[in-house]
């Protein structure tokens, strides 16, 4: 019988533990490079100016209430989210081959997609290939629904660059029908993305080997700073006729972290019965969503919908994205310059070559530990830093700390 007394204690989530340790540290020198959330030049959370405007619009709207949303979520949010990731001119949208469900941010979108696969894929279940390394929750979400997880190489430790041959070799030998989780842009944790040509090569192999792409897009607009560049891979795969799953998050790019605004999209391949496939998938997603969360949260989706459906606010949002991605790029440059100036042992070009919120520094767990104990710098054990945690006040201090621990 079920005996809760026999349940073993689980380990704490490493990143949430890091946050607690950082908050408990009373030193004046603390630097938080752990949390995957944008911080302004004073290390404070930033409410995007566009989001402030959208909130004001929402408050004044006499129709604004706190009713339940439909099971699939806010229709104006879903359609705009779809256009944002696939492109407003997407043929798949025109041909009614896409269905979209509002989810509990990106994590909920990955979960809904994983659940759909676990329920409807033939037995034995297909393998789910996840990059090594990846956002650690990928493994957990797919494992939780009973899908077998495998890994493909992604990062070359020697050059600190994308391991294109490792990834393509593994995909070449993956069993037909396997699911491949792909980070659409700004790979977490490495900050290393395939080039357009490398995406084309990956798509070719996946097509030939009949692999199913499951895109996770948590950082659209955070990599290059441009929404329409950061969705290149997703658009390309759709153009190549793949059927794909997409998990989309508005946590980072709209700074709506705690509002949990996200979407899951399914795109069917072009064929005479594509829209019938999409409708059947949508009907099953509806059942899954109802039994898991009933209906998604309203507030964040309303804010996002106001911005995404207003051309003026949309363009102001792009300015906000450039502010965030621009500050991150500037901090990468400052950190590299400081390390060069200190003649810190090692090469640090990867700091400026990597993209998005994170940098995989190459620092070892021993370095990370020393940085924390001696310098009050908090970062993931893997050596990942959230570059957004750096600013003009602490970047030189962090460089000095790194210089000290690697010597």
- Residues making contact with ligand PLP (CB under 6 A): 36, 105-107, 135, 183, 188, 216, 218, 249, 251, 262
Cα-based distances in Å from 40 to 255, 288, 323, 324, 333: 12, 38, 10, 8, 16
Q: Are strands 31-32 and 377-378 parallel, antiparallel or unpaired?
A: parallel
Q: Smallest gap, in angstroms, from Cβ of residue 253 to ligand PLP?
A: 10
Alpha-helical segments (H) within 231-344: 232-239, 274-292, 299-308, 311-341
Active site residue 119: no
What is the C-alpha separation between 293 and 104, in angstroms, rounded?
9
- C-alpha closest to that of 180 among 170, 188, 189: 170
Rounded-to-integer distance, Cα 305 and Cα 291, Å: 25
Is there a catalytic annotation at residue 135? yes
Rank residues 248 and 278 by Cβ distance to ligand PLP and give the closer one. Answer: 248
DSSP for 332-361, please give it: HHHHHHHHHHTT-SS--HHHHHS-SSEEE-
Cα 358 to Cα 223: distance, rounded to the nearest angstrom: 10
Are the C-beta atoms of residues 382 and 189 closer than 8 Å to each other?
A: yes
**Residue nearer to ligand PLP on the CB measure, 137 or 164:** 137
> Is residue 265 within 8 Å of residue 234, measured between CB atoms?
no
- Catalytic annotation, pick one of 53, 160, 252, 336: 252
- Minimum Å gap between C-beta 223 and ligand PLP is 12
Please pick, among 32, 46, 53, 135, the residue that the annotation labels catalytic. Answer: 135
Of the pair 100, 344, the CB lying nearest ligand PLP is at 100
Q: How far is the CB of 152 from ligand PLP (least distance, A)?
A: 15
- To ligand PLP, the closest distance from the beta carbon of 108 in angstroms equals 7
Token pair recorded at residue 181:
């989780």
Nearest approach in angstroms of CB 101 to ligand PLP is 14
Catalytic residue among 193, 216, 230, 320: 216
Q: Is 349 a catalytic residue?
A: no
The nearer residue to ligand PLP, 381 or 403, going by C-beta atoms, is 381
Specify the residue, 74 or 405, whose C-beta has the smaller distance to ligand PLP. 74
* Closer of 251 and 274 to ligand PLP (Cβ): 251
Q: How many CB atoms lie within 10 A of CB 165?
A: 10
Tokens of 370: 């020393």
CB of 135 to ligand PLP, least distance (A): 4
Would you please indicate which residues are annotated as catalytic (active-site) residues? 135, 216, 252
């Amino acid at each position: 019988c079920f005996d809760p007394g026999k349940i073993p204690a689980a380990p704490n989530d490493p990143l949430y533990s890091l946050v607690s340790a950082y908050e408990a540290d009373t030193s004046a020198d603390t630097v938080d490079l752990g949390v995957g959330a944008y911080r302004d030049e004073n290390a404070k959370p930033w409410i995007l100016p566009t989001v402030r405007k959208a909130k004001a619009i929402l408050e004044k709207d006499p129709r604004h209430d706190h009713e339940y949303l439909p099971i699939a979520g806010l229709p104006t949010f879903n359609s705009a989210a779809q256009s944002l990731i696939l492109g407003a001119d997407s043929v798949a949208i025109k041909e009614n081959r896409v269905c979209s469900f509002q989810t509990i941010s990106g994590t909920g979108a990955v979960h809904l997609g994983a659940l759909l696969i676990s329920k409807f894929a033939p037995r034995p279940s297909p393998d789910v290939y996840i990059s090594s390394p990846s956002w650690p929750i990928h493994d957990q979400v797919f494992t939780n629904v009973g899908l077998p997880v495998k890994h493909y190489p992604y990062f070359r430790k020697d050059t600190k660059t994308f391991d294109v041959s490792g990834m393509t070799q593994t995909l070449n030998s993956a069993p037909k029908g396997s699911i491949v989780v792909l980070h659409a842009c700004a790979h977490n944790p490495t900050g290393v993305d395939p080039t357009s040509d490398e995406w084309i090569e990956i798509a070719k192999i996946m097509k030939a080997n009949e692999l199913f792409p499951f895109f996770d897009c948590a950082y659209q607009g955070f990599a290059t700073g441009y929404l329409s560049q950061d969705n290149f891979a997703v658009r390309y795969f759709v153009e190549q006729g793949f059927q794909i799953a997409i998990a989309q998050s508005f946590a980072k790019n709209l700074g709506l972290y705690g509002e949990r605004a996200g979407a899951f999209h399914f795109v069917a391949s072009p064929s005479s019965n594509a829209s019938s496939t999409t409708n059947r998938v949508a009907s099953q997603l509806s059942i899954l969503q109802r039994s898991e969360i009933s209906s998604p949260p309203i507030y964040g989706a309303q804010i996002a919908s106001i911005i995404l459906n207003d051309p003026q606010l949309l363009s102001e949002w792009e300015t906000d994205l450039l502010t965030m991605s621009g500050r991150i790029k500037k901090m990468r440059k400052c950190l590299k310059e400081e390390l060069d100036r200190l003649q810190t042992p090692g090469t640090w070009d990867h700091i400026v070559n990597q993209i998005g919120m994170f940098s995989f520094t190459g620092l070892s767990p021993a370095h990370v530990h020393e940085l924390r104990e001696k310098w009050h710098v908090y970062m993931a054990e893997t050596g990942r830093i959230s570059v957004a945690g750096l600013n003009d006040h602490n970047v030189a201090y962090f460089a000095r700390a790194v210089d000290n621990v690697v010597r």
